[in-house]
Amino acid sequence: MALTFRSVDRDQQFLLPPSMADWLADDHVVWFLIAVVEGLDMSKFQGRAKLGGAGREPIDPRLLLLVLIYGYCLGERSSRQLERQCRENVAFRVITANEAPDHTTISRFRKDNESAFASLFEQVLELCAAAGLGQLGVVALDGTKIAANASKDSNTSASRLREEVDRIMREADEADNSDDDRLGDDRGDSVPPRLRDPSHREERIAAAWKHIQEQREQASAAASANVDQGKVDEYLERMADPSPGARAVGNGFTKPPRGTDRVAVAEFTYQRQRSLQQARIDDREFRKAQCATQGTVLMGVDPLPVDQARHVARAKEHLERVKVQAQHAATETTDQLKPQRANTTDPQSRLMKTRGGWIQGYNCQIVATADQIILAAHATQDHGDVAQYEPMIDAAQRAARHFGDGRIDTVVADAGYHSKSNLTAEGPERLIPDGKGYATAKAAIEQPSHGPPPAHATPAEAMKHRLRTAEGIDTYSKRKTIIEPINGHLKDRTGLRQFSRRGLEAADSELKLCAAVLNLGKLFRAAPA
């Protein structure tokens, strides 16, 4: 046993130059990432590099890409923290060959190569396919909300933007008048302090205005597209039908289709209630006359006059209220009816609802295989998922050409994608319930079905039938085990709970980078370096 401790001499000089191969174990993930990046086609990254001029040589794009990839593997996305890691972390020092790129260089590289990360994602997919990964029997589609680099408190209405623009213009006029009084015809060399704004406030307001106008146009187009005039006419005809069979419509038990004139509906309801009350009065008088001829007395209370009946009075009040609302709506501006809002920090982000509350962010769509290889990833501004089914499955099918026969058998997705168009669209077989997963599983146990759906079944009925079969519910139950862990890995392993940069294109680029990192992790664990 030694009598003393091992000496610590921090001034000891290296007798021989150190070898970086001795700094990390042979099976360390960094060696695997270096080998992968060395084999990538870097033409889209290198196209941004400035060569052939005077000055210091630029840093190799492969080095900067490796810094980003390994940083995201560790959940470290801050360019300043990555710079610190390049100085202090041995694995990063191996990646950079003892270089130390500053945070500005790292940040600028990520910004300048937004479109190139899509190429990285596709090349990593090809590597996964070459390694035998990617089980296309069942693929899962899901969306997850990720916060933008903006506060939801920065959302501003059109009226507030107008006030801000007016204030800026007043400041500009006041500054001009003050300069005229102070300088006369001289130009002057300084900008008025109150108008100095390094974050380009006016440009952000202009961008917010543009998105508000787009929201108005989209809302108007969606409202027009959702009106089925045939259903509206049929509903109004049933309202006008005096037969007893149409009474449920007149009593408001059937919801009017989108686009129906509320005043017309209220008018029909009022007139029907009057007719019903008058019919009660006439029936009472008829039975009184019959009793008088028989020498008997009719028992009971006479109905109230038509205008005094409670249900008639309520229908009349409702009619007057709807008329006032319609007149008020015709005179109000769009801003007053439903204020359109935009975020002045990141105008392209949207206010979205999550289980934990509202966030300012983007809806990120993911398609993954049964062995959790991400086939497609895309950031959108759409609050819902239903419109994203077809474009995401098209993207997944294009990516699937790298794997085996390139054919996707079945797509599983949650109720957010349930619609007639998605159930009947061209493409692979799909399982999309119209309710929560637990309700779907319960229905399969309590009301099991067998065989193919009935020939006369609608698309929704056929889907319910398939999900109640043993095979259907067993296949759909794989959805959570495929896609939910990926959503968790995106946010916890790569740290993508909030995007680093602003704008839809920047968010989509970072999402694809994170998806490529997760795929590389699957590839490394499947075939260690």
Q: Does 528 reside within a domain? A: no
Is residue 369 domain-shared with residue 482, that is, in the same domain? Answer: yes
Is residue 330 domain-shared with residue 423, that is, in the same domain? Answer: no
Task: Average the pLDDT over 154-158 and give the result.
Answer: 67
pLDDT digits 0-9 by tens, 24-68 = 888 899 999 999 998 888 888 876 666 655 667 788 889 999 999
DSSP codes joined into one string, 411-463: EEE-GGG--HHHHHSSSSEEE--SS-HHHHHHHHHHS---SSPPTT--HHHHH
Per-residue pLDDT at 176:
67
DSSP codes joined into one string, 125-138: HHHHHHTT----SE
> How many domains, the chain?
4
Per-residue pLDDT at 195:
45
Whether pTM exceeds 0.85: no
Q: Does 400 reside within a domain? A: yes
What share of the chain has pLDDT > 70, as a percent?
75
Q: Does 523 reside within a domain? A: no
Is residue 184 domain-shared with residue 70, that is, in the same domain? Answer: no
Q: How confident is the model at residue 250 (pLDDT cuts 50, 70, 90)?
A: very low
- Asked if residues 441 and 400 have their Cβ atoms less than 8 Å apart, the reply is no
Per-residue pLDDT at 4:
75
**What are the phi and psi torsion angles at 350 (to 5°)?**
-135, 150
Is residue 185 domain-shared with residue 62, that is, in the same domain? Answer: no
> b or e along 340-374 (b: 16 or more beta carbons within 10 Å of the residue's beta carbon)?
bbbbbbbbbbbebeeeeeebbbbbbbbbbbbebbb
Per-residue pLDDT at 506:
92
Higher confidence at residue 388 or residue 156?
388
What CA–CA distance (Å, rounded) separates 504 from 206?
A: 17
Residue type, 6: R
Q: Does 346 reside within a domain? A: no
Q: Does 376 reside within a domain? A: yes
Is residue 210 domain-shared with residue 302, that is, in the same domain? Answer: no
Q: Does 180 reside within a domain? A: yes
Q: Does 12 reside within a domain? A: no
Per-residue pLDDT at 98:
84
On the question of pLDDT at 230 being above 90, the answer is no
Per-residue pLDDT at 201:
57
Is residue 323 domain-shared with residue 365, that is, in the same domain? Answer: no
Q: Does 294 reside within a domain? A: yes
Is residue 235 domain-shared with residue 218, that is, in the same domain? Answer: no
Is residue 391 domain-shared with residue 297, that is, in the same domain? Answer: no
Is residue 434 domain-shared with residue 455, that is, in the same domain? Answer: yes
Is residue 201 domain-shared with residue 274, that is, in the same domain? Answer: no
Per-residue pLDDT at 455:
86
pLDDT digits 0-9 by tens, 210-226 = 666 676 666 666 655 55
Task: Average the pLDDT over 232-238 and give the result.
Answer: 67
On the question of pLDDT at 490 being above 50, the answer is yes
- Strand 357-368, strand 374-380: pairing: antiparallel
Per-residue pLDDT at 253:
45
Q: What is the mean pLDDT of the chain?
A: 81
Is residue 207 domain-shared with residue 239, that is, in the same domain? Answer: no
Task: Average the pLDDT over 242-270 and give the result.
Answer: 64
Residue 237 lies in domain: 229-337
pLDDT digits 0-9 by tens, 63-74 = 999 999 999 999
Residue type, 488: G
Q: How confident is the model at residue 249 (pLDDT cuts 50, 70, 90)?
A: very low
pLDDT digits 0-9 by tens, 279-326 = 888 888 888 888 888 888 888 888 889 888 888 888 888 888 888 877
pLDDT digits 0-9 by tens, 164-213 = 666 777 777 677 666 666 665 555 555 455 445 555 556 666 676 566 66
Q: How far is CA 238 from the centre of its chain?
A: 40
Is residue 373 domain-shared with residue 451, that is, in the same domain? Answer: yes
Higher confidence at residue 217 or residue 420?
420
